[in-house]
Amino acid sequence: MNSLRTIFSAILSSALVVLMIGCSSAPTKNSVALPSVSDISPLQKKVIAAAKKRLGAPYCYGGTAKCMDCSGLIVTIYQDIGITLPRTSAQQFSTGKYIEPDEATVGDLIFFRNKSGNINHVGLYVGDNKLLHASSSKGVIVQPLNDPYLANGFAGIRRFLPDNAIN
């Protein structure tokens, strides 16, 4: 996880990145497939299975079914595994368990702030330094965390999976 810490350190210290992320922003990279992850718990495997079902779903503000926004995507993934989360990214950020960047694992949520400092975007960490999230222009995609689109506005990581269900 040192590489994840390095990526986050570089992201947070970069003064050159000026674009801010939001659920309504368009990513600059094409989507990539979910990474294959080994050595994860059965519950984490269920999170990945639930996430795979949503890949390619279109974006719509407030959506949680055939189309979805960033926090709606997260709510539906977690509903599939029997965990109820708050509806908005700001509520999710304020209720999840704080996780250090170097401790992030599959199933953790990564949050971003807008220029005003408000939490406005969330994605699911799927391993291999990649994030599954809802893009307004491309729907549900997976992007590398070092993508410039995701680089700005990092706010923190929260965990909703039980600690005893994490490998």
Query: Measured between alpha carbons, how far is 77 from 165 in angstroms, rounded to an integer?
Result: 16
- Rounded distance, CA 4 to CA 149, Å? 17
* Active site (annotated) includes residue 70: yes
The one catalytic residue among 23, 60, 67, 133: 133
Catalytic residue among 23, 60, 67, 121: 121
**Three-state SS at 145:** coil
Residue type, 95: T
- Asked whether the beta carbons of 103 and 5 are under 8 A apart, the reply is no
Active site residue 23: no
| Other Cβ atoms closer than 10 A to 120 | 25
Q: Identify whether 133 is a catalytic site residue.
A: yes
Which H helix or E strand runs over 133? strand 130-135
The three-state DSSP-derived secondary structure of 67-104 is: CECHHHHHHHHHHHCCCCCCCCHHHHHHHCEEECHHHC
Helix, strand or coil for residue 51?
Answer: helix
- The catalytic residues are 70, 121, 133
